[in-house]
Amino acid sequence: MSFVLHERLKQDCLMLGCFPLSRLLLMQDSRFPWCILVPARKDMRELHQLEWNDQVQLLKESNRLATCLTRIYQPDKLNIAAIGNLVPQLHLHHVVRYLGDIAWPAPVWGFGKPVPYSQAELEHHTGRLLASLEEAGSDGQVFERLTA
Amino acid sequence: MSFVLHERLKQDCLMLGCFPLSRLLLMQDSRFPWCILVPARKDMRELHQLEWNDQVQLLKESNRLATCLTRIYQPDKLNIAAIGNLVPQLHLHHVVRYLGDIAWPAPVWGFGKPVPYSQAELEHHTGRLLASLEEAGSDGQVFERLTA
């Protein structure tokens, strides 16, 4: 059987598109700009379980995403993490943090309840992010947006 | 000026030794086996700010550490994260987690207060970890323990 996105990630996130290795998700939580990369490989739980070539590819995709998030949001800090205590499928969080955000300096995982985006907010955020991701990167990584 | 370990990391951790790129620290908190890699590069805050060769090297060192932690502790989950909301110097957490641990499934950052190791506990943990790290790895990464 091929790779299937974990049910909980489907519920909590919006699928934005695909890098060569990973699915790109946006967490449905307007409190923090928060993206997740999920390598499309079966039965992976830990970063070091990925084959080396996949690890390097994930690092490239993470770099690309981090660069776009930084350009758009100018965060005080990015929080990048593979935790997976609740969702065992390997996934890599990328969270934009500001000194004044509601959880600062605590981590976002398990902090209060998600506040869903309005439709207008969602279009604003996804529009900027997808445009930035689709610009030709100097690293040659191709991002394909999901067409509805 | 060359790389200097952040004061807060010095206070909270025990320095175990060096990989080619990173310092290896053990968090002084007996609630969780918890190591930190700190790339010895000046003025780094984010993973994607490291030069690409350094990023790949950090990934190799993280793999090596994760493999040793898994071999020794057989965790239910590893939590690997670059957060840095309190300590701006780039550092990569590696935390051994169990379904029954005191914080599960919450993240460990900001959870309660650290419980320092006793001297006997410290010798037990560092002894096993250093022995595992010093075994010749198939990846050719060399780890040098800090001699007191």
Residue with tokens 């990846």: B139
The model's pTM: 0.96
Strands A77-82 and B13-18: unpaired
pLDDT digits (tens, 9 = 90+) for B94-120: 999 999 999 999 999 999 999 999 999
Using the 8-state DSSP alphabet, how is residue B111 labeled? S
Q: Which residues of B touch A86 (CB under 8 A)?
A: 105
Least confident segment among A142-146, B3-7, B33-37, B101-105? A142-146
Q: Which residues of A touch B45 (CB under 8 A)?
A: 77
Give the length of chain A. Answer: 148
Nearest beta carbon to residue B81 from set A59, A83, A86 = A83
pLDDT digits (tens, 9 = 90+) for B72-85: 999 999 999 999 99
Could B79 and A81 be called an inter-chain contact, meaning their C-beta atoms sit closer than 8 Å? Answer: yes
pLDDT reported for residue A146: 82
Tell whether B102 is within 8 A of chain A (Cβ). Answer: no
Which of A78, A90, A101, A139 to probe the B interface (max B CBs under 10 A)? A78
Q: How confident is the model at residue A141 (pLDDT cuts 50, 70, 90)?
A: confident
Q: How confident is the model at residue A76 (pLDDT cuts 50, 70, 90)?
A: very high
With a pLDDT cut of 90, the percent of chain B lying above it is 89
Q: Indicate if the pLDDT at residue B138 is higher than 80.
A: no
Nearest-5° Cα angle at B144, B138 to B145: 125
User: Closest Cα to residue B108, out of B36, B38, B32?
Assistant: B32
Least confident segment among A41-45, A130-134, B51-55? A130-134
- Retrieve residue A28's tokens: 């449905």
Q: In whole angstroms, what separates CA A87 from the centre of its chain?
A: 14
What number of CA atoms fall less than 13 Å from residue A144's CA on the CB side? Answer: 9
pLDDT digits (tens, 9 = 90+) for A34-64: 999 999 999 999 999 999 999 999 999 999 9
Tell whether B137 is within 8 A of chain A (Cβ). Answer: no
pLDDT reported for residue A3: 95
Give yes or no for a contact between A140 and A20, defined as CB atoms under 8 angstroms apart.
no
Q: Which residues of A touch B62 (CB under 8 A)?
A: 47-48
pLDDT reported for residue B101: 98
Q: How confident is the model at residue B148 (pLDDT cuts 50, 70, 90)?
A: low
What is the CATH number that goes with domain A7-145? 3.30.428.10
Nearest beta carbon to residue A81 from set B48, B80, B88 = B80
Show the 3-state SS of A36-82.
EEEECCCCCCCHHHCCHHHHHHHHHHHHHHHHHHHHHHCCCEEEEEE
Q: Indicate if the pLDDT at residue B137 is higher than 90.
A: no
Tell whether B16 is within 8 A of chain A (Cβ). Answer: no
Per the model's pLDDT, the better-predicted residue between A12 and A136 turns out to be A12
Give Dmax (Cα) for chain B. Answer: 45
User: Closest Cα to residue B13, out of B29, B32, B26?
Assistant: B26
Tell whether B119 is within 8 A of chain A (Cβ). Answer: no
Contacts of A15 (CB under 8 A, 6+ apart): A5, A23, A24, A25, A146
For A22, A89, B63, B132, B147, the CA distances from B143, given in Å and listed in that order, are 32, 31, 13, 10, 12
The strand pairing partners of A145, in sequence order, are: A17
Tell whether A57 is within 8 A of chain B (Cβ). Answer: no
Contacts of A118 (CB under 8 A, 6+ apart): A30
Find the residue in B nearest to A97 (Cα): B85
Give yes or no for a contact between B67 and A48, defined as CB atoms under 8 angstroms apart.
yes
Give yes or no for a contact between A48 and A67, defined as CB atoms under 8 angstroms apart.
no
pLDDT reported for residue B135: 85
Q: In whole angstroms, what separates CA A80 from the centre of its chain?
A: 9
Q: Which residues of B touch A56 (CB under 8 A)?
A: 56, 59
* 3-class state of residue A147 by DSSP: coil
Give yes or no for a contact between B45 and B88, defined as CB atoms under 8 angstroms apart.
yes
Per the model's pLDDT, the better-predicted residue between A23 and A143 turns out to be A23
Give yes or no for a contact between A65 and A37, defined as CB atoms under 8 angstroms apart.
yes
Q: How many CB atoms lie within 10 A of CB B125?
A: 19
Query: What is the rounded average pLDDT of the residues A114-134?
Result: 96
